[in-house]
Each structure stands twice: as structure tokens, then as C-alpha cells.
Amino acid sequence: MSQIKRVAIVGGTHGNELTGVYLVKKFQQYPNLINRPSWETLLLLGNLKAIAQRKRYIDKDLNRCFSKENLQNSNFLNYEDTRAQEIKQILQPQNQPFVDVIIDLHSTTANMGLTLIFCDMHPFLLRLAAYLTSINSLVKVYINPQSKQGGFLRSVCELGFVIEVGAVAQNVLNAELFQQTEQLIYAILEYFTWYNQGHIPQINNNLTFYEYIGTIDYPRDEQGEIQAMIHPQVQFRDYEPLNPGEPIFRTFADTDILYEGVSTVYPIFINEAAYYEKGIAMHLTQKQQKIV
Amino acid sequence: MSQIKRVAIVGGTHGNELTGVYLVKKFQQYPNLINRPSWETLLLLGNLKAIAQRKRYIDKDLNRCFSKENLQNSNFLNYEDTRAQEIKQILQPQNQPFVDVIIDLHSTTANMGLTLIFCDMHPFLLRLAAYLTSINSLVKVYINPQSKQGGFLRSVCELGFVIEVGAVAQNVLNAELFQQTEQLIYAILEYFTWYNQGHIPQINNNLTFYEYIGTIDYPRDEQGEIQAMIHPQVQFRDYEPLNPGEPIFRTFADTDILYEGVSTVYPIFINEAAYYEKGIAMHLTQKQQKIV
């Protein structure tokens, strides 16, 4: 990639994640905040119907509809499949190249601060992350190669990534997190400007990141009903170490369930509201370092 | 009232407020936790369809459907109106008196700790509140006489009240708040036992409570779209004083909106997710004291 020519900033891929929705609306109202001379910025609200109804989605999770297969399927079955195809066309109008970058704005009830989620270890993204983590200690980096296959919006573009902010409740705007996210976006755009101008700042090039290992579900009975809650010692402790033998769940019968893994892990997405139905109580990650 | 004979504990009047839903499910599984010899306890899940769909409600807010007029209307228009009539019948089976007490379990994204919400200054409830606040500093008392007219479940019973716990996101179980709510329920049941036995403990009878003054909406444009967020200095500061001239909102244009009242107020329900659509950014209250 020689130059960044088009950047898409997307909010409301999930309709009840208001930080992204209102950041995009703010940028639409004050475009000078994100317009830069050396590229074109595209602002986009993802799941329009879900935003209007204050829901994550109408028929199915839009952020699982961007698989190649799905995007080529002409038998539209529901709103989100249709909307995913519309979004793809907006990101790549006929006879034009695809956008170079997608910044997909999400929020979570987990205490994940300002997390960058990447599908892979693309050197450009790793260096961007090293810069952002060096100027803001709230920034964390999560690499989840699984999400390359899952039909996520970020996966349709080589430099697609998510900014996942929390903890914030669904359908709530938290001004502090909103402003932190806004400042992070400006820092990203500044980095892109430097990149296009050919002079990236000197940074600490030792990047700490967290890599996907797997997910853990809540303990459930045969009917699928949950039998335990995230343990108080784990709640809001995203990115902190969880060691074998430490409590992970507290059952409704008031007993503790211990983590039975063989090594220390770093849970994230702990108690994300939208993941109960996906069978995910948390993601487990391993902490890594890399010179980028 | 000579004796308490029947107590109803209701969870899931709003389907996405999981603390109450799972406390009722826990008590259904372990009834000895709440059964007491001197009265009958009724356990009830309120909005069954909304609980199943992880939503606040299906067609309309169930907790606004309990007006006398609504309960006598035989032209059922939607699920919640029907369900409100069913619940009334469960609380008062034919030829039996109404339940003496309703404990309606709610949760909020506002930082309201363990709030008791009463419709009026019933002496029994005030003394109960004085006892509970004396043993647990997280317990707050909110008196909202407006809620007598609004069709709230708590209004159908002289000793109906809400336990409103937060901050917790919708569709999330927070184990710590869950356990605090559970312990509060046990303390309430213990108090009822003492009452029925005729010996209430000596308590500090000086009750601090917060009385409804009114509500404030978010600043909005002509289309009803919000133009500002709860100010970071106000967020999560439920029950703390807000003085005239102090910031209350932060606009998307990055300016502060100041509180223009004439006297100090104590906001609660600050940034409750479900109240955006009701046009409520917060309730304003005045702090009061009373010998009970």
C-alpha cells in the first residue's frame, strides 16, 4: 500500500452501541473534525434499523454477515444480510477500489478500555498500535485471527479494525469514554497523515498485545439456562491475569467454580451483555510482546 | 394491617433486568431461602416473553400497565396489558385478599446502589427503610408519589415497593450486586418476621430519604435527537448534590450546559438506558430527613 486514499469510519454496526453511533453523527455534523487533505473519509452508520430501534440487530448480528459467501448470496433472507451487501457497495462503489481502512466503532459492557481488535498481525496495524499504546495507556491491542472467518465487517478490508470501548452499558452514552474514543480516532488520523507524508514518528517499538486462545461459556443446565455468574473477583478485571485454581464463576448455589486451565490467561470481553446468547462468558487470551 | 400473610417477590417486570430475574429463579430453585413460617411467599416472573427475548418489554412497558383503568379494560390490545391482568389475578386469586406486600426487583444503569422506591410515606415502609439504612449504608430511599398514578406494579398494593439496584448494564448479571440484593431481601424478610412476632428492633429512627421533584430530559433538536450527554462530573454521581451553575450536560459541540435551578438538588436515575426513549436524563430529588 503506497498511500491511504480512503478511510471509512463506521458506527452502529450494533444499533445499541451508542458511542460509535453518536461519534459518526457528530462527525457528520462537524466534518472538519475528521476531514484531512491527503485522503477521503467516509462516514457510515451500520445497522440503520437497529439504531432506530435501539437494538443490537433486527434479525441477526450484522457483524457476522460479511463473509464472502454471504456477500455474494442474492437470496436475501433478512435485513442484516441485505444491509451487509449495501455497506459493501458503499465501501466499494463500482469501478473504484475498496476503502483502504475501516475503523469500526463498538462498545462493550466489559471493562476493555480502548481496545484495538485486529484480525491478524499486519505490520502497518502493529506499528499503528505501538504508536497508540505509547501515547495512551488505556489503549490495548487484541489480535483475534478467528475473526477473519466469522463474517466481521473488519475482515473485508486488509486494514480493517475495531475500536472496542468499555465498560459502558448498551443504549447508554458515557461522555468520558465518548471523548476518549474521539481523541483516539484523531490520533489514528494523525498517524495516517504522517504515513502519507512519509514520516512516521519514532516510537517505542516493543508492542504488548493479547492474542485469542478461545472462549469460555457460563456453566449451564441441560436446558441451556445459566447456573453461575462471573465471579466478583473477575468482574471488570479484563486484561488482568487469571491463574489456574483461581475463582472464575460464582454459582447460584453460592459455590465458587475455579479456573482449571494449565497456565495463566488474560480474560477479556468479561460479562459482555450481547455474548450470553452466543455462549460466551469471556474470551481467553495470552499476553505477548513483539518488536514491530 | 395486623399481620403480614402473603408477600410477593417479583423479578423481570422488565425482561432485561437480570438481577431480579435470576434472584426469583434462584428462590424458585431453593425455596427454603425465602420461605418463613409466619407468612406465604409468592415468587413471580413478570414479563415472561420479554425475559425470553432479553428485552425490557415486547409492546409496551409492563410497569406502566397496572392502572385501575388498564386492569379493568377487557379489550386487550397487546401482550403487556394482558400480562398485567394475569399478574393481578395471581396476586389476588378469586375470593382471597390481595397480597400484603409486593417486592418488585429492578436494576438500572444509574449508580443507585440499593434503592428502595416507595409511592408514599407509609409509616410501615418508612420504619422498614430506617431499619435497612441503619444496617447497610448502600441502602437509599426514594419516595416518588408520581408513581401512584403511573400504572406501576408497586402501586397496586399498599405495601408495594421497588428494590432498584445499580449501576449494572441491561442483560448483565453482576454477582456483587446480585448478592447485595439477595442479602437485602433476607433483611426485609427478617424484619417482616419480627413485625409478625410483635417485636421490631430498636433502630435509629432518623430516616434520610430523597423525594421526587421532577425529571430533566437531554437537550434535543427539533427531530428529538439528543444533542448532549450526561456531563462526566455528573455521571455515576447519583444521590450527590448538584448546585445551580454546575455542569449537567456536555454537548456534542464540546460545550458544557449548566444546571439552572435555584437550589441544590440530588439527581438520581442518571443516564438510565431505558429512559432515553421516555425523555428522561435523570430524576431530580430533594434530600429530606424525618423521625419515623
pLDDT at A41: 95
- A176 contacts in chain B (CB < 8 Å): 232, 235
Tens digits of per-residue pLDDT, A49-65?
999 999 999 999 999 98
Residues of A annotated as catalytic (active site), given as ranges = 164
pLDDT at B148 over 80: no
Which residue of B30, B172, B275 is the best one to mutate when testing the A interface, meaning the one whose CB has the most A CBs within 10 A? B172
The arithmetic mean of pLDDT across residues A223-235, rounded, is 97
How far apart CA B266 and CA B256 sit, in angstroms, is: 19
How far apart CA B67 and CA B87 sit, in angstroms, is: 13
The answer to whether the Cβ–Cβ distance between B176 and A231 falls below 8 Å is no
The answer to whether the Cβ–Cβ distance between B176 and A232 falls below 8 Å is yes
Which stretches within chain B are classed as H helix? Answer: 18-29, 48-52, 68-72, 79-91, 123-135, 175-197
Q: What is the mean pLDDT of chain B?
A: 94
| Bridge partner residues of A141 (DSSP) | A116
Cα Dmax for chain B: 61
The arithmetic mean of pLDDT across residues A14-28, rounded, is 98
How far apart CA B247 and CA B256 sit, in angstroms, is: 6
The pairs formed by B74-80 with CB atoms below 8 angstroms and a separation of 24 or more are: B79/B49, B80/B47
- DSSP three-state, residue A100: coil
How far apart CA B259 and CA A210 sit, in angstroms, is: 43
Type of residue found at B72? Q
Which residue of B17, B173, B180, B226 is the best one to mutate when testing the A interface, meaning the one whose CB has the most A CBs within 10 A? B173
Measured at the CA of B53, the angle between CA A223 and CA A47, to 5 degrees, comes to 125
Instruction: Given the residues B164, B182, B190, B272, select the one marked as catalytic.
Output: B164
- A109 contacts in chain B (CB < 8 Å): 169, 172
Sheet hosting strand B256-258, strand order edge to edge: B228-230, B247-251, B256-258
The mean-pLDDT minimum among A150-159, A226-235, B138-147, B166-175 falls in A150-159
% of chain B exceeding 70 in pLDDT: 99
pLDDT at A148 over 90: no
* Count of A-B CB contacts under 8 Å: 85
Grid cell, residue B50, equals 420479554
pLDDT at A249 over 70: yes
Sheet hosting strand B113-118, strand order edge to edge: B40-45, B6-11, B101-107, B159-166, B113-118, B139-143, B206-216, B282-291, B266-268
| From A109, A175, A253, residue closest to B250, measured CB to CB | A175
- DSSP three-state, residue B36: strand
Question: How sure is the predictor about B1, in pLDDT bands with cuts at 50, 70 and 90?
Answer: low
The answer to whether the Cβ–Cβ distance between A252 and B276 falls below 8 Å is no
| From B170, B175, B225, residue closest to A171, measured CB to CB | B170
The answer to whether the Cβ–Cβ distance between B170 and A169 falls below 8 Å is yes
- A271 contacts in chain B (CB < 8 Å): 172-174
Q: What ipTM describes this predicted complex?
A: 0.94
pLDDT at B142 over 80: yes
**Chain A residues within 8 Å of chain B (Cβ atoms):** 22, 25-26, 29-30, 54, 109, 167-176, 178-179, 225-226, 229-232, 235, 250, 252-253, 271, 273-274, 276-277
The C-alpha of A32 sits at a distance from chain B's nearest C-alpha, in angstroms, of: 12
- DSSP three-state, residue A5: coil
The mean-pLDDT minimum among A96-105, A245-254, B198-207 falls in B198-207
The mean-pLDDT minimum among A22-31, A111-120, B149-158 falls in B149-158
In chain B, whose CA is at the least distance from the CA of A167?
B169
pLDDT at B59 over 80: yes
pLDDT at B155: 85
The arithmetic mean of pLDDT across residues B132-160, rounded, is 91
The answer to whether the Cβ–Cβ distance between B170 and A273 falls below 8 Å is yes
How far apart CA A26 and CA A43 sit, in angstroms, is: 10
The arithmetic mean of pLDDT across residues B10-14, rounded, is 97
The answer to whether the Cβ–Cβ distance between A174 and B271 falls below 8 Å is yes
pLDDT at A71 over 90: no
- A178 contacts in chain B (CB < 8 Å): 229
Tens digits of per-residue pLDDT, B61-120?
999 988 888 888 877 679 999 999 999 999 987 888 899 999 999 999 999 999 999 999
Q: Is A206 marked within a binding site?
A: no
pLDDT at A1: 65
pLDDT at A192: 96
- A17 contacts in chain B (CB < 8 Å): none
Nearest CA to B163 out of B29, B55, B19 is that of: B19
The answer to whether the Cβ–Cβ distance between A271 and B174 falls below 8 Å is yes
